[in-house]
Amino acid sequence: MDSDLASSKAWELLRRSLSRDRLAHGYLFIGDDMDSLEVGAEALAQTLNCSAPPERSPGGTPMDPCGQCPNCHRIAARNHADVTWVRPENKSRQISADQTREIVRMITLKPMQGFHKMVIFAGADRMNTSAANIFLKTLEEPPAGSVLILLTTEPSRLLETILSRCQRVSFGVRPFRVGDEVGRWVTDFARKAAPGSTGVLARYQLLGTLLESLAAAREVIEEQLTATSPLAKYPDATPVQKEQWEDALTAAIEAEYRRRRGEYLAGLQAWLRDVWLRVCGVTGESAFFPTLESATEAVAARLKVAQAQNNLESWESTQRLLHTNVQEALALEVGLLRLTL
């Protein structure tokens, strides 16, 4: 098991629950890092299907995986018959009703290789309305021996009825940090905004820089995830298995790209917050970008509180819009042009 996970409060909570034989039918793993959530889901799937767990509860529930038995290896390789990973479909970028119906059908079957039928929804907040309603019925009356794990970095997008029926496990929220690349883009944006020169041409230049950075990020993500995909490790897999891995790889690339894109959007949101605070008369250590103090002051001096507030709300709306099937470049273009600077 991953050493960081083994020592985390999230795993300690899960382990304590298992030690008391309190196995939930539905878990909601929340955090800001999907990779960490997937590591946690994999570890729980291994634990519950482990053939030789190093420790059991008084009632016989496994508390940790051995990591060495066939079940543990198959789950780690994502080819265990009883552990299904569900990701947003490639075109719609949503978990569809058809996907969910197939999961509902599959989970009623008896385990073939392990002890529990398990479904892991990576990006559960991407369920469309129909899928969420179908899933809710199963969550209300789950088949015996089944365990459903929902992974999300945005729990607010899930139905409250789903949230209330799952045991929540928080994998922590990292402090907001702006990476060097994102910081450079935000700095460029702020300094161009300072003298009031963010006309149409200037904003399109900023948009072009952002799109170029995002395209480069996608290339890196594709290269890294392709190298670690089971497709590269098991060239002799069956065509059906390869197709499943290809779909999973495409979904993983899209999910990681969206996370990376979110860092850029959050970086600009943080600076717009600095401007809003300055307009409200707040100064000092609360700024996300203290090195941009002069640019922040220059922009703030031109705005009223309502305008600064509208900037924040408008950019938040742009970020929400990008979770739909809207064209990315168009949404970013409109979002940048709507800012009052």
Nearest to 41 by CA among 31, 51, 55, 56: 31
CB neighbourhood size of 279 (10 A): 22
The pLDDT value given to residue 284: 63
**Cα pseudo-dihedral 60, 61, 66, 68, rounded to 10:** 90
Is residue 321 classed as helix, strand or coil in its secondary structure? Answer: helix
Q: Is 94 helix (H, G, I), strand (E, B) or coil?
A: coil
- State pTM to two decimals: 0.59
Domain annotation for the chain: domains and CATH numbers:
3-170 (3.40.50.300), 180-337 (no CATH)
The structure tokens listed for 119 are: 């479904």
Q: Are 178 and 291 in contact (CB under 8 A)?
A: no
Q: What is the predicted pLDDT for the residue at 245?
A: 80
Q: pLDDT value at position 181?
A: 83
The Cα 259–Cα 184 span in angstroms is 18
> What pLDDT is recorded for position 6?
66
Give the list of residues 6+ apart from residue 170 with CB closer than 8 angstroms, or none: 10, 30, 31
Rounded CA-CA distance 161/156 in Å is: 12
Distance CA 1, CA 20 (A): 21
Give me the long-range contacts of 106-112 (CB less than 8 A, separation at least 24).
107/138, 107/142, 107/143, 107/146, 107/148, 108/143, 110/145, 111/49, 111/81, 111/82, 111/145, 112/81, 112/82
Distance of alpha carbon 299 from alpha carbon 60, whole angstroms: 63
Distance separating alpha carbons of residues 334 and 190, to the nearest angstrom? 18
Residue 152: name the closest of 134, 133, 132, 137 by CA.
132
Per-residue pLDDT of the chain (341 residues; tens, 9 = 90+): 666 676 688 888 889 899 998 889 999 999 878 888 999 999 999 999 999 999 999 999 999 999 999 999 999 998 899 999 998 875 567 888 888 988 888 888 888 888 999 999 998 988 888 888 888 888 888 888 899 999 998 887 888 889 889 999 988 765 566 778 888 889 988 888 888 766 778 778 878 888 888 898 899 999 988 888 888 778 888 888 888 788 778 877 887 888 888 888 989 999 999 999 999 888 766 788 988 999 999 999 999 999 999 999 999 889 888 877 789 999 999 998 898 88
In this structure, is the dihedral angle defined by the CA atoms of residues 246, 249, 255 and 257, taken in order, positive or negative? negative
Pairing mode, if any, of strands 146-152 and 167-170? unpaired
**Cβ atoms within 10 Å, residue 250:** 17
Using DSSP, state whether 168 is helix, strand or coil: strand
Q: How far is Cα 20 from Cα 58, in angstroms, rounded to an integer?
A: 8
Pull the structure tokens for residue 73. 């290896």
pLDDT of res. 236 = 82
